[in-house]
Structure 1
Amino acid sequence: MKYYIKLLNWEIVRFSKLYGALALLLLVSQFSGIWLTSHSFLSSVHTWMDGNGGTEALYAERFQKLNLSYMFNALWYEGAISLCAIVLVLYIFIIWYKEWFGRNTFAYRLLMLPTSRMNVYFAKLSAIVLFVFGFVSLQIVVIPLQLATFLAIIPVELREAVTIGELIRRDPLLNLFMPTYGMQFILYYGAGILGVFVLFTAVLLERSYRWKGIVAGILYSVAALFIIVAPYVINRRSLFLYPSELLLLQVCMGIGIIAISIQVSSFLLRKKVTV
């Protein structure tokens, strides 16, 4: 456990600069977008008022009120979230491959530590999971602040009332990363963690067998995806299971895939992975 904690701390520290830069980009992009969009809207309103002698209430009645959920669908908002997600997906591979970069590969020292090599495996896995939840937690924290910023800029006559829950439910991307129902949260992130297990196994297959390992890793990933999707396809034709039964079947298959991934990865790390 001591080595696992040290390895986890090391993984977090060495990604912290890039992670902090992504978090800062997320905040700057989203808050700047809200500020600029809000002031652009107010500028349009005031231009109309000066030319027509109307009021803010009359403008809202004739045209539209501004809703913060419309801003959440903008590229500057969802683009920042998507960029963070893409970087984390890429880091699933980088977290392994950067050990082999350079002439004096750090992988040799890492794999020769006086502890189980699976501690290295689980430290990397835990780091990825913590990074994901870190971004999700950051977004959860800033949404109320973004709503407060919007309310402070836009007068009540020109804005539509919206709650934080409505903001999340109306945006497909936010609803994906922050499901409003507990079971959805478990299923979405359970599927994500399952994907990390499968990709880790694919990387270790490549590190063990090189070109043959690439083919094996791709086939393993495709097979895992097929096993998860197959019950849906088969159920439409012959099984006719209830939704709860189908879900339970998929959960069991997912747990089975995770168990197989851990066993295969353990074997590869102990017997096959070379530096």
Structure 2
Amino acid sequence: MKHHMKQGWRLTVKHMHILIVLFLYQLLWGFFLYRYVDSVVTPLLERYPGTLPSESASGLFWAEAQFRLLKTSLVQPYAWTLLGMLALRMIVTPLLNAGLFYSLHHVSAGGDGGSRFMQGIRRCWKRVLPLYWCETLLTLAPAWWLLPRGLDALLSSPSMLELAQTALPWGAGWLLWGVLLHLLFLALQFGAASGQSLTDSLLRAPRLLLPLAALSLVLWLIAAASGLAVSGASLLWAGLLAIMIQQLYHFGRTLLGIWSVASQFDCWQSNQPGSR
């Protein structure tokens, strides 16, 4: 594992320009999504009747909100906008993945001339994009069964403890399902970007789930420790310095994301026939 992390860091350093692109992509996406949600939610919350409203005023607010959401077309333009933003992300993200994975393959194979990010997008997007969509659909598929039951549990549970006892096992199972799918399709996308056939990737990917999961866990722990350190520093040094630390943390989180993918790619490549 240490060897894969070391090689992954070596690959990460050679893709610093891609790191900047991904950081800006995530920053802009988060900014516009936050501003849009804020523009919708804040006017609604401003109608809430004070900080300590009476029971009747609070009930009237929620009754009005329920009526406007369910009986009018108020939510439709917001829903269509969010779906459009989701569709855009579902297109852009696999394109970026294709460029990064192909570039990792090119550099790790000893290719000259640096990374091949744009070339990877042109060559591999048709193979990577369907895999990304399939992963997303399979990850969301349990929601068709789980969300109605979660709503029933929310409405029928007499306490938060009972709700947690009912919902947490299903939530944990859904999370585990999503993690396994992500690791499996990550290996398939590595194969697609490296020119491997889908059949070969499907046959070899299940054997790599455990080492890929171990690398993900180690780097997730590093990211979690970094997040706690940044939160502690922000509490100690408030003001402009805290804002700078927070922005540097987001940059570092993107760096850790590429390091994780690069380490997993090195692990995947080392388990291929004819590898070192």
When normalised by structure 2's length, the TM-score is 0.37
Higher relative contact order (CA 8 A, sep 6+): 2
When normalised by structure 1's length, the TM-score is 0.37
Q: Which has the larger radius of gyration?
A: 1
